Amino acid sequence: MLEKKSAALILEDGSRFDGYSFGAELPTTGEVVFNTAMTGYPESLTDPSYAGQILVLTFPLIGNYGVPSPERDEWGILNFFESEKIHIQGLIVSDYSFEHSHWNAVKSLGEWLAEQGIPGVYGVDTRAITKIIREHGVMLGKIAIEGVAEPAEFIDPNVENLVAKTSCTDIIEYGDGEHKVVLVDCGCKYNIIRCLLKRGVRVIRVPWDYDFTTLDYDGVMLSNGPGDPSLCGATVENIRKAFAVGKPIFGICMGNQLTSIAAGASTYKLKYGHRSHNQPALEVGTDRAVITSQNHGFAVNPEGLADGWTPYFINLNDGTIEGVKHSHKPFFTVQFHPEATSGPVDTEYLFDCFIDKIIESKR
């Protein structure tokens, strides 16, 4: 057992939660968000959409299965993580498991956080923190560590273009499948690439602001990504050009928000985000609901959507828009994660719909 060092999460409203440090002993500041999923911390921590955020996990027992091996698949993609590094700013848990056990674990969660310079706090009531955020709305926070100077100010990560910070900077190609899909990397999760590759796609991953309409492609995949969608004007311009090209477009999360903006809608910040594995979404015009994995703090206001565009899914908890689609063009998007990892795979069929649209549009 490590020697206990005190650490605390301090919220903008002055509330303070005292616990102990694990991971890197580096104070930090960021936007405090909560996720209610019971599993998937290796995937969540490496999801680039969490950039700038201090993540609070409501499920109490965390770290019990350690951190998986960094093995890669034939395309060079890490098998058990969603990107190359941890993207969260800090981690807050209730009951940290000092002793992990899993066939595939190569280290503990605390060691992994320490290695990557990310602080963690354990021994706090993460459900109490969540209740405060739900009442007050999303807040900034600081992690303070005993014996180390506290960050002077609360810093809001969303004023920066986090997509530009997490996107690739060069074009990367994966696979040799028959369908050429441009993947616009706004801070892409690896499972989007895996879901495309296993469906016979050659993936051409391009930076967030790259004018992909100059390339030869069969379809466009717009990825998830961190921060405020209204800061990604360059991507929105390129999506408008892609509307004119007319080839299939599929957007996920940030990709949904940017497509909706390109189609005339706007985005706003939710009181607190949707981050869990059990968000119910209704397919508009049907009786079919799907259980979805989500991780977003912004949402689409559909007012202003151009003719032909309609909401695709609606969140059954709060009625927010969970995607848009075009009535006669092969364009559709979702706010949730059909590539959920971890999380329910109910909506992975949407990748098949995308491939079907590509096949149809090639005819």
Residues at the site binding ligand GLN, with contacts judged by CB under 6 A? 49, 224-227, 253-254, 295-298
Rank residues 167 and 295 by Cβ distance to ligand GLN and give the closer one: 295
Q: How far apart are CA 307 and CA 353, in angstroms?
A: 22
At CA 107, angle to CA 48 and CA 123, rounded to 5?
75
Structure tokens that stand for 254 in this block? 């940030």
CB of 273 to ligand GLN, least distance (A): 6
CB of 225 to ligand GLN, least distance (A): 5
Rank residues 21 and 292 by Cβ distance to ligand GLN and give the closer one: 292
Q: Is 147 annotated as a binding residue?
A: no
H-helix or E-strand containing 312? none
303 in catalytic set: no
Structure tokens that stand for 139 in this block? 């807040």
In sequence order, what are the residues at sequence separation of 6 or more whose Cβ sits closer than 8 angstroms to the Cβ of residue 3? none
Q: Is 49 annotated as a binding residue?
A: yes
Q: Is 225 annotated as a binding residue?
A: yes
SS3 134: helix
CB of 295 to ligand GLN, least distance (A): 4
Instruction: Establish how many alpha carbons lie within 13 A of residue 269's alpha carbon, considering only the half-sphere containing its beta carbon.
Output: 13
Q: Is 53 annotated as a binding residue?
A: no
Q: Is 279 annotated as a binding residue?
A: no
CB 28 within 8 A of CB 8: no
Between the CA of residue 200 and those of 6, 178, 194, 347, what are the distances in Å?
51, 6, 10, 19
In sequence order, what are the residues at sequence separation of 6 or more whose Cβ sits closer than 8 angstroms to the Cβ of residue 103? none
Q: Is 257 annotated as a binding residue?
A: yes
Taking the mean position of all CA atoms in its chain, how far away is CA 2?
A: 32
Rank residues 22 and 41 by Cβ distance to ligand GLN and give the closer one: 41
Q: Which of 188, 253, 274, 277 is catalytic?
A: 253
At CA 243, angle to CA 221 and CA 304, rounded to 5?
105
168 in catalytic set: no
Q: Which of 87, 179, 296, 337 is catalytic?
A: 337
Rank residues 110 and 157 by Cβ distance to ligand GLN and give the closer one: 157
337 in catalytic set: yes
CB of 297 to ligand GLN, least distance (A): 4
**H helices present in the chain, as ranges:** 41-45, 109-115, 126-136, 162-166, 190-197, 233-245, 254-262, 349-362
Rank residues 21 and 83 by Cβ distance to ligand GLN and give the closer one: 83
Structure tokens that stand for 193 in this block? 């690439």
CB of 47 to ligand GLN, least distance (A): 7
Catalytic residues: 253, 337, 339
Enumerate the known binding-site residues: 49, 225, 227, 254, 257, 295, 297-298
Q: Could you tell me which residues are annotated as the binding site for L-glutamine?
A: 49, 225, 227, 254, 257, 295, 297-298
